[in-house]
Structure 1
Amino acid sequence: MTKPPKPKPLLQDADKPVRSRPRKPRNPAQPNLLLEPMPDRVEPCLALLKARPPKGDDWVYEIKWDGYRLSVHVEPTRIRILTRGGHDWTDRFPAIQQAALWLPVGTAILDGEAVVLDEQGRTDFGLLQQSLGGRGGKKSSSDAIFMAFDLLYFDGHDLRDSELDMRRHLLEDLVPAGEQGDIRLSEEIEADGDQLLASACEHGLEGIIAKRRSAPYRSGRLGDWVKVKCILSDSFVIIGYERSTVARAGIGRLLLAARKGKKLVYVGGVGTGFNERNAYELREQMDKLIIGKPAIDTGRKRNAVFVRPELVAEIEYRAWTQDGKLRHASYKGLRERQDDAAVYEIA
């Protein structure tokens, strides 16, 4: 297959690719560790959303990738590719599976993101969905690549209690910087956090991730990893749509909801971001879920069709209004149920 272009370098000369910091000498005591059982699955470490990058020598930065969070398990007799929710998607990513077979390791668990890059080398969630056949599709993607950013298990050793620096050192041995295969290294970037964020936004990227060098790998959203976005992007439940005689597939505007405790709360709508293909796919999905009354109060709506709150959409937006509605929202695509994407929660 034709490889997607490499992302544009940030904060460096155009002819010099981004590189991680120089490797530290390998700890000679590492090979003497006792062998430990390989976990069947690891709940992912999740990034906490912040408005600004954290400061200090204990923080390192990476580009934020816009795709599906996956873990690649290299086992003695097979490769397994698991979604964030623990679903086996090995057959959906045959190119990543093949690349994992070629890794110079007996057993390993790599944490990372499956992405598809556009012509400018930026991740595009919509292109990733199309390559998989849309929400609920069963296609295999030969265009997706895996951006590896952590190593949780390596040749009989569970690395989750090790500091990030140690895990990255071993990962960079396994997936060298600059390689352009179907498994690539998500490289750390030495830079001022604010300057890197500004450069990422200037290049049209989604944002950056900051990670604490000294932290072990802890499952959940505990603050060891922080994400800072150029444009806000979150998942919301679709509760209906407003009809239109001129819009694609008759969808004038999607009606959206967020979670507040155990309830759903109406947060406004989105009427942009659709193309011919995803609009008709979305309409087909919604037509299977039509109900007579709205699942939650949306206020008075003309020409509205309400659906069971089962579909989750990824939405870009600029801000929130004072009355709790999304501003300048744009539709990006439907989230897969197996992706286990968290619906936005209102505090």
Structure 2
Amino acid sequence: MAKPLSEYQRKRDFAVTSEPSSSSPGRRAPSALAFVVQKHAARNLHYDFRLELDGVLKSWAVPKGPSLDPSQKRLAVHVEDHPLSYAGFEGSIPAGQYGAGDVIVWDRGIWQPHEDPHKAYTAGKLKFTLVGEKLAGDWALVRTRLKGSGDKEQWLLIKENDQQARSISDYDIVQAQPKSVLGGAALGQAKTALPDQLTPQLATLADRAPAGDWHYEIKFDGYRMLARVRAGRVHLLTRNGHDWSDRLPRQVKAIEALKLKDCWLDGEVISLSHDGLPDFQGVQQAFDSGHSQDLVYYLFDAPFLHGHDQRGTALQDRRAALKAVLDGNKSPLLRFSEAFAADHRDILQSACSLGLEGVIGKRAGSPYSGVRSADWIKLKCRQRQEFVIVGYTPPQGARGGFGALLLAVNVDNTLLYAGRVGTGFDQATLQALYKKMQPLSRQSSPLANPLSGSQARGVRWIRPQLVAEVQFAEWTREGLVRQAAFVGLRSDKPPEQIVREQVLPQNRASKISISHPERIIDPASGTQKAQLAQFYQSISNWILPHLRHRPVALLRAPEGIEGEQFFQKHSERLAIPHITQLDPSLDPGHARLMEIHTVAALVGAVQMGTIELHTWGATVDKIQTPDLFVLDLDPDPALPWKSMLEAAQLVLSVLDELGLAAYIKTSGGKGLHLIVPLARRDGWETVKAFAKAIAVFMTQQLPERFTATSGPGNRIGKIFIDYLRNGRGASTVAAYSVRARPGLPVSVPIGRQELASLRSAQQWNVANLEERLHGLKADPWAGYANRQRISKKMWQKLGAQPPSP
């Protein structure tokens, strides 16, 4: 008897193909049976229909794909079993390999056999229900007596006539929904289609080179430029999305000559001086004079390359791939930005001795997140940044044009005075800049902080539309630049984006010493212990309001998430820096409970190996009366995400009917948390009983979807409404807490209007949460401070009774 999956193994060379190489049937925790449909552009386009049974995926090739029309009996050719791990496979099978071509996950979910699946499979007549992202309802697979090629059995895939059935003339699902359910891409686009716009990764100003594995490049003194290649056409775009292709025609042709497939490349356009060093004024003069053809385009990253999304790929791998495609470049206008060859302790001194502006450091293993983060840092030989020009003073003596420029930066959507610059101009620059400022004249100051009489005397104000780059010695205590010198105008940065750059000190994680800062906490993302501390500090304004005044429990993983993990509710003998130990009377018979209410305590917890932060449903001042309850929607992992969204909407509808406002957050795990704020009136037993009553009500109304009984065996194909977190001493992961899972996802509050578009319970993580927080226009939990009471009428609607006093 052949070993399981032996035929699958025989047909594939796993040194060449990226398909999973599982050699034995899979075993996993109790769960519903999974199904997957993969769209496969092999020699002929077809759909691979796979059902989990006996630890493998029983597989059929369906040439025309599934149809919702019961009259459409689709041919399904039985092929070899596949490993369970194949259910998540997307990518390209290389030429020369069995099944060569692109594969996407077209649909996935669970299947529920109507009778014993083993007997039905052997008899050749499987009837089942699908619960997928796209396919649903009752189906049948029926073996026929038709002879196919070789010994492959011919089956038919048939949709049963139920509420989900639709006529093919009315709706063809494979045409109407062609994309992957994982990344949303159509076949041939890998996992993500090339976006029309791309936000560049930005660097954070730092005071010195950090320890660890970093790559350093020259800080180019030019204009940031992104190259988009689509269908052979090249467009060069500024960091703000302006198309400058017409201004850089020779550089466009140089990239076209590389004959790249769909790409986004990142780099900087610079002018080289006679000494071969970057010359910012040379760039500005080249664009102003229309002679930008000789500018050099240095490339340093490739977020997308040959149609593949590389943003999640490690920095060094992205750069290696970019360098490989540039090996065939013959244009002197296109170059690769090589890494700086120097020890990190000497890196800045080496750059400054060469007359460079500074260096850019990039953390090895980091992704391309498209935001300003601590993964990219800039070290400058002298402080230098952009300022908005808001006015100028008259010239003195024989000088023409103007005397000095008045500078400002944006703070909270207003302009604040930042000093003046009166050096660094030659006569031509004075006259050209003076000419640019004349049409912008205005009578009043655009500054939010008015200048004193002596400072404002003789100032000519202008509309804040010009941006100057200025180098200077330091910031004064009053927030003004000292010993400033003009470098040039910036036409690639809008005034409203100009803010004071804040230095990221390398001891950023408060004043607490982080032991083993280079320790990898999560191998999947390469996140180090120091980075986790920095992440928590960076989001402290978001997470601390959910931690303050509540007992906190810590999930600690001192050796990283793949090592042993500890759940700690009491302070015991562990000395966590700056953590607050609560009154022992709050939890008699145990060591003291803990509270985190400062940044120092937050970072101190990370120092002691903490990853997750869990809080009680009551505050320390009224520990016996909860001020919220939680409904944790915990799904069978095999269920499709669509089922989770539908379940959340159903529970929210019941809460609406009860008159209770609920607030949603991703769990950072598999499901969602619904948080219901309460007035502090009822005790733990009553609140927990009420949460249980909701769970039981949902289970009674929709037993095929929900269960109120814990344990993996009880939630097969269902969602467990976990109400058990509402007892005294129980806790729930806090809003904005990291989870100890691969990729370090974060539990994130969302608005109810965002629920329908939510893609996963792990949609946000330590790498991309900052982008969401910066983009928020409104508080997703607006109204959360309003407290509600559980009424007698609510109990009645649920058909339940409160516990006896």
Partner amino acid for 2:209? Answer: P
TM-score normalized with structure 1 length:
0.85
Higher relative contact order (CA 8 A, sep 6+): 1
- Equivalence for 2:391: 240
Which stretch has the larger CA shift, 242-251 or 299-308? 242-251
- Equivalence for 1:228: 379
- Equivalence for 1:206: 357
Q: CA deviation at 1:317?
A: 0.8
Is the alpha carbon distance of 1:221 and 1:346 closer, same or farther for their aligned partners in structure 2, counting shifts above 3 Å?
A: closer
Residues 156-202 of structure 1 deviation map (CA, whole Å, 9 limit, x = unaligned): 21111111121111111012399771110001134322312101001
Partner amino acid for 2:402? Answer: I
Q: CA deviation at 1:270?
A: 0.4
- Equivalence for 1:107: 262
Is the alpha carbon distance of 1:27 and 1:225 closer, same or farther for their aligned partners in structure 2, counting shifts above 3 Å?
A: farther
Residues 8-53 of structure 1 deviation map (CA, whole Å, 9 limit, x = unaligned): xxxxxxxxxxxxxxxxxx9974964763321212101000100101
Q: How does 1:119-198 map to 2 (within 5 A)?
A: 119-133=274-288, 139=290, 141-176=292-327, 181-198=332-349
- Equivalence for 2:236: 81
- Unpaired runs of at least 5, structure 2: 1-14, 19-90, 94-101, 104-188, 503-805
Q: CA deviation at 1:243?
A: 0.3
SS at match of 2:282: helix
- Equivalence for 2:451: 298
1:70 touches 1:81 (CA, 8 Å); kept in 2?
yes
Question: Aligned to 2:481, which of 319, 322, 326?
Answer: 326
- Equivalence for 1:48: 204
Residues 86-145 of structure 1 deviation map (CA, whole Å, 9 limit, x = unaligned): 0110011112111111114223221000110111111111110100017xxxx2511211
CA distance in 2 between partners of 1:247 and 1:215 (Å): 54
CA distance in 1 between partners of 2:204 and 2:16 (Å): 31
CA distance in 2 between partners of 1:346 and 1:49 (Å): 7
Larger helix fraction of residues? 2
CA RMSD of aligned residues (A): 2.3
CA distance in 2 between partners of 1:188 and 1:210 (Å): 9
CA distance in 1 between partners of 2:269 and 2:473 (Å): 25
Residues 204-231 of structure 1 deviation map (CA, whole Å, 9 limit, x = unaligned): 1010111111111101112111111111
* Structure whose alpha-carbon radius of gyration is higher: 2
- Equivalence for 1:16: none
- Equivalence for 1:218: 369
Is the alpha carbon distance of 1:206 and 1:100 closer, same or farther for their aligned partners in structure 2, counting shifts above 3 Å?
A: same
- Equivalence for 2:409: 258
Partner amino acid for 2:446? Answer: A
SS at match of 2:293: coil
TM-score normalized with structure 2 length:
0.38
Partner amino acid for 2:319? Answer: R
Partner amino acid for 2:251? Answer: I
Q: Does 1:269 align with 2:438?
A: no
Q: Does 1:72 align with 2:234?
A: no
Is the alpha carbon distance of 1:282 and 1:27 closer, same or farther for their aligned partners in structure 2, counting shifts above 3 Å?
A: farther
The number of residues matched between the two structures is: 316
CA distance in 2 between partners of 1:27 and 1:98 (Å): 34
Q: CA deviation at 1:79?
A: 0.9
CA distance in 1 between partners of 2:317 and 2:231 (Å): 23
CA distance in 2 between partners of 1:81 and 1:144 (Å): 13
CA distance in 2 between partners of 1:68 and 1:27 (Å): 41
Is the alpha carbon distance of 1:185 and 1:133 closer, same or farther for their aligned partners in structure 2, counting shifts above 3 Å?
A: same
Is the alpha carbon distance of 1:182 and 1:70 closer, same or farther for their aligned partners in structure 2, counting shifts above 3 Å?
A: same
Question: Aligned to 2:433, which of 275, 282, 294?
Answer: 282
Is the alpha carbon distance of 1:224 and 1:319 closer, same or farther for their aligned partners in structure 2, counting shifts above 3 Å?
A: same
- Equivalence for 1:310: 465
CA distance in 1 between partners of 2:499 and 2:392 (Å): 19
2:358 touches 2:381 (CA, 8 Å); kept in 1?
yes
SS at match of 1:74: strand
CA distance in 2 between partners of 1:180 and 1:328 (Å): 41
Q: CA deviation at 1:250?
A: 2.5
Is the alpha carbon distance of 1:220 and 1:311 closer, same or farther for their aligned partners in structure 2, counting shifts above 3 Å?
A: same
1:321 touches 1:327 (CA, 8 Å); kept in 2?
yes
Q: CA deviation at 1:284?
A: 1.1
CA distance in 2 between partners of 1:290 and 1:227 (Å): 35
Is the alpha carbon distance of 1:116 and 1:31 closer, same or farther for their aligned partners in structure 2, counting shifts above 3 Å?
A: farther
Is the alpha carbon distance of 1:205 and 1:178 closer, same or farther for their aligned partners in structure 2, counting shifts above 3 Å?
A: farther
Q: CA deviation at 1:62?
A: 0.8
Partner amino acid for 2:400? Answer: A
Q: CA deviation at 1:274?
A: 0.9
Partner amino acid for 1:323? Answer: E
Q: CA deviation at 1:239?
A: 1.1
SS at match of 1:193: coil
- Equivalence for 1:7: none
Q: Percent identity?
A: 37
2:249 touches 2:293 (CA, 8 Å); kept in 1?
yes
Q: CA deviation at 1:340?
A: 4.0
SS at match of 2:372: coil
Q: CA deviation at 1:346?
A: 7.0
Q: CA deviation at 1:248?
A: 4.5
2:240 touches 2:493 (CA, 8 Å); kept in 1?
yes
